[in-house]
Structure 1
Amino acid sequence: MDIRKIKKLIELVQASDITELEIKEGEESIRLCRQSATAPNAQGANVTLASQPSVEEASEQEEYDEEKLLRSPMVGTFYLAPAVDAAPLVKLGQRVEQGEPVCIIEAMKMMNQIQAPHSGVVTAILCQSGDGVEFDQPLMMIE
């Protein structure tokens, strides 16, 4: 999970009345807990990170070859299919050609098709449909 997402989640927990939030994305999970302040002069509540991606997951993320990563050209919402009931544009192991649409990013109510920067095989899809993505965030690996 991207550190920017984690920071945003911490801010949301601090700004709300919830005491605990747990999110799972694939094999990664994060749990944020608001701890009650017991000291009389403590201000606000503390938010702690209870779980982080395992060391294996972190090393997997570092092993990606930058030249083979497809990165998000914008901030928006990631989708693998053009509609809820439609087939995904790509699947793991599928061969794609340069310029072929591989995903969609919705930004400001506009659906933007993202094209493969080069020909190859989709070896990893790093986001799930409906995930918010940031500029330059890795979306998938095309080798």
Structure 2
Amino acid sequence: MDLRKLKTILELFEGSTVVTELEISEGDDKLRLAKGAAPLFPVAPTPAVVVPSDNDAVPAKPVTPAAEEPVKGTTITSPMVGTFYRAPSPEMSPFVRVGQTVEAGETLCIIEAMKLMNEIPATVSGKVISILAESGGPVSYGDSLFIIE
């Protein structure tokens, strides 16, 4: 089974709130996914490692439930499951940078879903104060991408 196809299937399955079990057969290959099922073998937890991909990306601050601060500005969220890209291609500059002023309707990023490139526009005008997703990384429906003040 093609690795890209498998990755897309996994992203769509993880993002779905309706599908809880999925079984796919392709030739001799079989894939079975189930949400909430116990793993077949124990998996040791691994610590998360965050590697910034660009100087403009602002890493998320760990927040304790008691000290949660309200978000200042409008949060732009992902309308779909896919791969987040800050620029139209690796050789080009990003659509927006932290500190840049944007107009409503201006393209902020691209989300690739099922080999289609979907431009994500700003829903409000203002200043980009935070970029929350990593370019080239997966995003799910409802994930916070940008904060615009």
TM-score, normalising length from structure 2? 0.59
Structure 1 stretches lacking a partner, 5+ long: 5-10, 28-53
Q: Which protein has the bigger helix share? A: 1
CA-based RMSD of the aligned residues comes to: 3.1
Classify 1:24/1:15 alpha carbon distance in 2 versus 1 (closer, same or farther; 3 Å). farther
Q: Give 2:85's aligned residue.
A: 79
Give ranges in structure 2 of 5+ residues lacking alignment: 1-13, 15-35, 53-59
Q: Higher strand share goes to which structure? A: 1
Aligned residue pairs: how many? Answer: 105
In 1, the alpha carbon distance for the partners of 2:106 and 2:82 equals 20
Distance 1:103 1:61 in 2: 28
The percentage of counterpart residues that share the same residue type is: 39
1:1-80 correspondence to structure 2 within 5 Å: 21-26=46-51, 57-58=62-63, 62-65=69-72, 68-80=74-86
With normalisation by structure 1, the TM-score equals 0.61
Ranked by relative contact order (alpha carbons within 8 Å, sequence separation 6 or more), the top structure is 2
Q: Structure 1 CA distance, aligned partners of 2:68 and 2:75?
A: 11
